Structure 1
Amino acid sequence: LEGPEKGVLTVARKGDFDITDGAFLPNGDLLLLERSFSFMRGLAMELRRIKADTIRPDKVANGPVLLQANMAYQIDNMEGLDVWRRADGALIVSLVSDDNQSFLQRNLYLEFRLDE
């Protein structure tokens, strides 16, 4: 991580999920987009929140899963994450997937309002 307290961030691994992207919230918490794939289960994703006060170079960061979805929720290869504030003040989480020029995948753009 870059910034005034830059360093290496170690995050607890959850099952077979891998981190694909992350974004900091205005309060310093970190949102992580994690993805899993297996031929048996297909794709799955999780959105995990790491509290700012647990992000330390000497600790393993972990936090609650805010959103969990699998193929039943019509997701795809979710790999991009952004956090932004809408004109009305709502904090929005945007997730994107890329079809990788494959007819088996789709480009998706999902938005969620995050309760602060």
Structure 2
Amino acid sequence: MRAAIALCLLTACADGSDAPARFLGAYTWQVEDAEFGGFSAMHLSDDGIGVIAVSDRGMILRGRIERQDDAITGVQIDDFAAIRTDLPAGQPSMRDSEGLAVAPDGTTYVSFEGITRVLRLSPDGPATRLPDHPAFADLQANAALEALAIDAQGRLYTMPEKSGGLDLPFPVWRFDGTGWQTAFHITRDPGFLLVGADFGPDGRLYVLERGFNGIGFRSRVRRFDMPSSGTRTGEVMFAAPVWRHDNLEGISVWRDEQDRTRLSMISDDNFFRLQRTEIVEYVIENPLQ
């Protein structure tokens, strides 16, 4: 037992300084509202100020991030309400929103567990359900469409939290406007599950992964060029050890005024008092890397 604890402490001290992305800062976000928390996905505007987040209780938050130099100093909430889904009222267990993607025209899409599906939200009525891929029906109940992203052409991509086996790669499904196709696969590390994704300003796909060893969370981000098919391993942008951050689940990638690529992530506190809602940021100094 002592050896295991020592190993965990040693792992927690590793800084991953040889990775392309370096830690910039973290902000603990606290709001006195029983529905606040459980955030599983986040989108930031191109300037890193506007924020949209969804929770695993089917809530959507819109607001503005306040910054001083490289530090987040606060978040102003403009709206916080339940997502108007395609389901009747009274089914909270089926409102488990996990992924978020916002198109250039502002159209917002959300992916769900519980009932596995992707919705196009409407500003003035219930959401519209996109067609399903046949594989959606076979996904594990609490490990379904965890990640959702949209590219510069407006094509949606979604990925499950689990691939169905430790040695099986994650499928990446792409929606072409009428249906989903398997675009490619990404390798699975037995120590991590896939929890978030976003396209960066460089056109590449950034995937957030989470590991849990029973005592704490660890996180990493991999970056992928967009292949036409096959299975890809990608490039590790950073790997944070156990206890460095909370349960990071959502990622948004944008370029700041210094022409640096920022990886902004939000944690899901599971509405558990020993966890916290945290916005964490890493930066890639050279956007051409």
TM-score in same-fold range (> 0.5): yes
Structure 1 distance, partners of 2:191, 2:198, is: 21
Secondary structure of the 1:95 match is strand
Residue equivalent to 1:10: 185
**Residue 261 of structure 2, aligned match among 77, 85, 91:** 91
Amino acid at match of 1:107: T
Is 2:196 aligned against 1:21? yes
Secondary structure of the 2:212 match is strand
**Residue 70 of structure 1, aligned match among 202, 227, 241:** 241
Give the 3 Å change call, closer, same or farther, for CA 102–17 of structure 1 in structure 2: same
Residue equivalent to 1:48: 222
Asked whether the equivalents of residues 96 and 108 of structure 1 are also in contact (C-alpha less than 8 Å), the reply is yes
Deviations 1:69-106 (CA, angstroms, capped at 9, x unpaired):
12342x01000000112234332110110212101211
Amino acid at match of 1:20: V
Structure 2 distance, partners of 1:89, 1:7, is: 34
Amino acid at match of 1:2: F
Secondary structure of the 1:66 match is strand
Runs of 5+ consecutive residues of structure 1 not aligned to the other structure: none
Deviations 1:4-33 (CA, angstroms, capped at 9, x unpaired):
8x7323111012211101111223211110
Asked whether the equivalents of residues 207 and 222 of structure 2 are also in contact (C-alpha less than 8 Å), the reply is yes
Is 2:231 aligned against 1:60? yes
TM-score with structure 1 length normalisation?
Answer: 0.81
Structure 2 distance, partners of 1:103, 1:90, is: 35
Structure 2 distance, partners of 1:87, 1:28, is: 18
Residue equivalent to 2:150: none
Asked whether the equivalents of residues 42 and 70 of structure 1 are also in contact (C-alpha less than 8 Å), the reply is no
Structure 2 distance, partners of 1:96, 1:36, is: 15
Asked whether the equivalents of residues 17 and 36 of structure 1 are also in contact (C-alpha less than 8 Å), the reply is yes
Secondary structure of the 1:14 match is coil
Structure 2 distance, partners of 1:71, 1:10, is: 27
Deviations 1:22-53 (CA, angstroms, capped at 9, x unpaired):
111223211110001121x521111111122x
Secondary structure of the 2:219 match is strand
Secondary structure of the 2:175 match is coil
RMSD of the alignment, in Å?
A: 2.0
TM-score with structure 2 length normalisation?
Answer: 0.35
CA offset at residue 3 of structure 1?
4.9
Residue equivalent to 1:104: 274
Structure 1 distance, partners of 2:207, 2:176, is: 18
Amino acid at match of 2:222: R
Q: What is the count of residue pairs matched by the alignment?
A: 110
Structure 2 distance, partners of 1:108, 1:87, is: 23
Structure 2 distance, partners of 1:87, 1:66, is: 21
CA offset at residue 60 of structure 1?
0.8
